[in-house]
A and B are shown apart, each in its own frame.
Chain A
Amino acid sequence: MGVDTGAAPLGSARAEILQRIRAATGGVSNTEVARAGWTRLPREYRRAATREREAVLELLEDRLRDYDANVVRTGRDRVSAIVAKMLSERGKTRMVVPPGIPNEWLPVVVEFVVDEGLSAAELDRFDGVMTGSTMAIAQTGTVILQSVPGQGRRAVTLVPDYQLCVVCEEDVVETVPEAMARLQETAELPTTFFSGPSATADIEMTRIKGVHGPRYLDVVLVGSGI
């Protein structure tokens, strides 16, 4: 992996910077000192949910809508019917999906192509992408994707202009700390948080949907089917 950059001896830069840091902080830090110090850090902020389950789901819906996402709640056995309806309303006929997406979510009336290393240019030619999700955070209206079956590699949910994302109710948490705790085990997987479709406010602070990522986002929240 190492690339010869032709630069000045880099090992010496490392040693010199670490030496400067130690001179500045008054000595060498080690695992014990750092771990003990970290454990003592105050964390008086809110870490657990404070709402009832149904209120958490309603909060997620509300926050997603606030960020211009379209949200539909449905029961487990109705996913493919709802997906068919949403895609038809949007006029989408050819969708890319990651490997491992549950077959029962996919209606037969739409063409679904499984991504097996499609090029970015090929991804760009689809009407949209449909995936599952790892988790959602109600308080911030955020959905989390990881590189796992059913969610796919990062490019798949990025290049197409439209995303339909299925979120299971049991994967919804209320707060950011709850989400980070659940992600700890798989922290090293490529992970993407998205809160609504792509947006910018760079022009006169006017929020514009979609600059480079998907401009349109539909979320299907799957549970008991209220």
Chain B
Amino acid sequence: MSGSALDPKTAPVFPIAARTAMKDGQLRRNVRHATDVIQAKRARVVAEMPDWQELREAGKQIRQHTMENLDFYLEEFEANCTRAGGVVHWARDAAEARQIIVGLVKASGSDEVIKIKSMTTEEIQLNSALEAAGIHPYETDLAELIIQLGHDQPSHIVVPALHKNRQQIREIFQREMNLPKLGERPEDLADAARIFLREKFLRVKTGVSGANFLIAETGGVCIVESEGNGRMCLTLPETLIAVAGIDKVVPRFADLEVLFQLLPRSATGERMNPYNSIWTGVNAADGPRAFHVVLMDNARTEILADAEGRQTLNCIRCGACQNACPVYRQTGGHAYGSVYAGPIGAILTPQLQEMHHAQSLPYASSLCGACYEVCPVKINIPEVLIHLRNKVVKQNGPLNVEAFAMKMMGMIFLSEHRFRAAQRMGRMAEAPLVRRDEKGEGWIGWLPGMLGGWTKVRDLQEMPQETFRDWWKKRGTHGS
């Protein structure tokens, strides 16, 4: 039923995928409109907060402190969740997490599950694993439903279907829900989804969710959302299975006072999410009778071990960096070849893949710093991008073209003699490529080979006929 998930292992490299996306005018209009709206709302509600910078600093420090003591907080969460009647499972990687979840769903006696929007389940491609095991997953978030019914993929962490407009959504619903007379007002579409899903909410006995925060102090789990579909999945089924990266833990209940202020304002420009749910284990009189948490590593410990990349784990998945990113706003999310798109995807995806896939993503940025400025927990994304570029070059070894070229440049810059020779060579070599404009200035619009990457999107001015050194020398002999 769902389209195949975006997989960094098989996705085309970013420059190729971006080129295709850039040709889709409708997609770019939809992405621009959505990101413009969210950014304007975000700016307004952030400006309401005189203590915003202090909140960001506290958020950063809480996340940093959690990562430094991650083993302690995970064990504390496990002990408290278990004490409250939850069952905690640990998964080293995606395959192990899928195996645990499929096993738990089967043990619940259900062959269908209702799902809350969860980037972690997208990351591990859970839906196709469930389907392969004969279990039908129903996405219940409106955007995820649009994607599932449209056999599409999410393109934004918070608003996964922002690349679709109302006409496109209407066509999907008409076809997949068999509603030929469906109207095209957003209200009509939301109503159709409400009716389509309500029957599932009232019937399906097993729910699968992600988690926004795991509270070590109490063993509680917190999910924030806006539609109420999350509350339906958390509250009505008999069995609930939550899967969370090990990075989702927060030390204490009180820490939510910071995250509840930073996350909604950054993510959707709301003062608070319409719904926040917190529950601890099982409660005899309220909610599911069986509750499982799957704590998943899936390369997060690799990121933790990298001193410079570690701050990536501080991410609370608000998506503000995506909305602010000039690259994402042009290409949309699918070009990143991963469920995590935009600046955070550009640093998270390659690290989750241990740099063996998605090597082009650290370059999918202009390093303008807009992402760092809006990040509610102050992740210095440009710094991590540069760190990862360095890693890519190292991983590819000293024999790759870029490393070789940089080595040559280094040699040239080491000696004045070589530098002057290179300048003379350059002037000769460029001559056949230079075209004069109406003012007589020389421009190069095409360079051969690897250098062509530069001239693909901009022109290069010809080298000056007289260098400063030449001019200085002349001045010395002929001057006063």
Contact between A200 and B227 (Cβ–Cβ < 8 Å)? yes
Contacts of A179 in B (CB 8 A): 257
Q: Which among A30-38, A73-81, A87-95, A104-112 touches the partner chain?
A: A30-38
Q: Which among B246-254, B361-369, B384-392, B449-457 touches the partner chain?
A: B246-254
Contact between B304 and A21 (Cβ–Cβ < 8 Å)? yes
A182 to chain B minimum Cβ distance, whole angstroms, is 11
0/1 interface trace, chain B 257-277, chain A, CB 8 Å (1 if under): 110110000001011111111
Query: Is B50 at the interface (CB under 8 A from chain A)?
Result: yes
Contacts of A23 in B (CB 8 A): 301, 305
Contact between A124 and B198 (Cβ–Cβ < 8 Å)? yes
Secondary structure call for the A interface: loop
Count the A residues whose beta carbon is within 8 Å of the partner chain — how many?
84
CA distance A44 to B57 in the complex (A): 9
CA distance A180 to B305 in the complex (A): 33
Within 8 A of A (CB), among B267-311: 268, 270-280, 283, 285-287, 290, 292, 295, 297, 301, 304-305
Query: Is B344 at the interface (CB under 8 A from chain A)?
Result: no
Secondary structure call for the B interface: helix
Contact between A202 and B146 (Cβ–Cβ < 8 Å)? yes
Q: Which among A3-11, A127-135, A164-172, A218-226 touches the partner chain?
A: A3-11
Known interface pairs A37-B65, A37-B68, A154-B287. Does A211 touch B272 (Cβ–Cβ under 8 Å)? Answer: no
Contacts of B11 in A (CB 8 A): none
Contacts of A33 in B (CB 8 A): 69, 72
Partner of B62, one of A41, A142, A199, A206: A41
How many residue pairs bridge A and B at CB < 8 Å?
A: 284
Partner of B70, one of A21, A63, A158, A177: A21
Contacts of A121 in B (CB 8 A): 202
Partner of A202, one of B143, B231, B235: B143
Q: Which among B14-22, B96-104, B425-433 touches the partner chain?
A: B96-104
| B residues with CB within 8 A of A | 30, 33-34, 37-38, 50-51, 54-55, 57-58, 61-62, 65, 67-75, 84-85, 87, 89-92, 96, 99-100, 103-104, 107, 140-143, 146, 159, 161-162, 165-166, 169, 186-187, 189-190, 193-194, 197-198, 201-202, 215, 217-220, 226-229, 231-232, 234-236, 246, 251-254, 256-258, 260-261, 268, 270-280, 283, 285-287, 290, 292, 295, 297, 301, 304-305
Partner of B271, one of A139, A153, A177: A139
Known interface pairs A10-B89, A140-B271, A198-B274. Does A5 touch B99 (Cβ–Cβ under 8 Å)? Answer: yes
Nearest B residue to A41, CB-CB: B61
Question: Can you give 5 contacting A-B residue pairs, CB < 8 Å?
Answer: A21-B70, A29-B72, A176-B260, A187-B253, A202-B146
| Max chain B Cβ within 10 angstroms of own Cβ: one of A47, A195, A203 | A203
Contact between B276 and A193 (Cβ–Cβ < 8 Å)? yes
0/1 interface trace, chain A 179-192, chain B, CB 8 Å (1 if under): 11101100111111
A156 to chain B minimum Cβ distance, whole angstroms, is 9
A143 to chain B minimum Cβ distance, whole angstroms, is 10
Nearest B residue to A35, CB-CB: B251
